[in-house]
């Protein structure tokens, strides 16, 4: 029996949802969370931001004239900033995990 192909979920993200979340996109994830959980959440956030960036880019560079309720050049810049800051937060999380692991085996960080 042949299975019917599974259709991928639409990656379309509504502009309204983006507007609701825009203030949170530049913020770090709660620092009190477990390092592994925080890392996984940053990965998920990056996937969301990359999909959002693609959709915003297509909207800004599309043939349709921008209207209220659609992405703008400023939104594109905000999303790019959010991706950059998320990479930095992720880097800090990885460094924190490494330092924790190294401290457990007795390695002390030396200042240069």
What's the pLDDT tens digit per position in 29-52?
Answer: 999 999 999 999 999 999 999 999
Q: What is the pLDDT of residue 13?
A: 77
Higher pLDDT, 13 or 23: 23
* φ/ψ (deg, to 5) at 84: -60, -45
Query: CA–CA separation, 48 vs 52, rounded Å?
Result: 6
Residues in the chain: 112
Q: Please return the burial class of 83, using the count of CB atoms within 10 Å of its CB with bins 0-12, 13-18 and 19+.
A: middle
CB atoms within 10 A of CB 18: 18
Q: What is the pLDDT of residue 84?
A: 98
Q: What is the pLDDT of residue 7?
A: 41
* Average pLDDT along the chain: 85
Q: What is the pLDDT of residue 97?
A: 94
Question: What pTM did the predictor assign?
Answer: 0.78
Domain ranges in the chain are: 45-62+69-104
CB atoms within 10 A of CB 72: 13
């Amino acid at each position: 029996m042949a299975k019917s192909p599974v259709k991928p979920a639409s990656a379309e993200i509504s502009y309204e949802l983006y507007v609701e979340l825009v203030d949170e996109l530049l913020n770090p994830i709660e620092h009190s969370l477990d390092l592994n959980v925080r890392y996984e959440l940053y990965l998920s956030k990056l996937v969301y931001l990359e999909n959002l960036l693609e959709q915003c880019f297509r909207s800004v560079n599309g043939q349709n004239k921008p209207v209220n309720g659609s992405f703008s050049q400023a939104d594109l810049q905000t999303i790019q900033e959010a991706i950059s800051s998320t990479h930095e937060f992720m880097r800090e999380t990885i460094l924190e995990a490494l330092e924790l692991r190294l401290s457990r085996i007795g390695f002390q960080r030396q200042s240069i």
